[in-house]
Amino acid sequence: MNVVKTDIPGLLIIEPKVYEDARGYFFESYNEEAFFKAGIQEKWVQDNQSRSVYGVIRGLHYQLEPFAQSKLVRVIEGEIYDVAVDIRKGSPTFKKWYGTKLSASNFRQLYIPKGFAHGFSVLSPTAIVLYKCDALYNPSSERGIVSDDPDLGINWLIPSDHIVLSPKDRNLPLFKDAENNFVFSGI
C-alpha cells in the first residue's frame, strides 16, 4: 500500500496494491497492521454505504467532540470528487479544503481524521461510496457547512444547474456560522 500525504496535515490518500489478471482483480481495502504502520490507528466501529446519482453533493458533514469521527472513504461503483475541509482551530491549514477523485477504477481511499468537514459530489451516472468510521453516528452532535459557501469556494466539478442537494444540506450554515469545537493539536 502506498500512503500519499496531502498538503493538509493528517489528511492521507491510500493507494492499495492491486493484483490484476485476466480473471479480474484483488486488493486489501483494509489491513489493520499496514494501516497502523502508516499511522492510521483508529479502531473502526461503523461502516456506511450510500448510492447517489450524478450531480448529488452530500455534505459538508461532521460530528462535534466527543463524538467526532475519523473516516476512511472509498468508492466501489462510479466516481466521486471527495472533499475534506480543515475545521481545526489553530491549524496552519484552518479553513483550507482538499479534493480528490475517488473511483471504482482507481481504488484510491481518502483517510479523513477528526477535525474535518467531509462531503463529496457524484461525477458518474451513479456512485456507491463506502466509508469506515471510528465512532458511532450521534444525531445530537451532527453538524455541517453548506457546500456552496463562498468563503470556501469549493469547485465540486458539477455544473450549478445539475447540482442536487437534500433539503437538510441546502440549509446548513456558512463556515463562519457553523458550530465547531475542534482544536489543532499538531501532527
Give the whole-angstrom CA distance, residue 176 versus residue 103.
Answer: 32
Residues with catalytic roles:
61, 131
**What are the DSSP E strand ranges found in the chain?**
2-5, 12-15, 19-21, 24-26, 46-53, 57-63, 71-77, 79-86, 97-103, 109-112, 116-122, 126-133, 142-144
Q: Which residue bears the cell 492521507?
A: 12
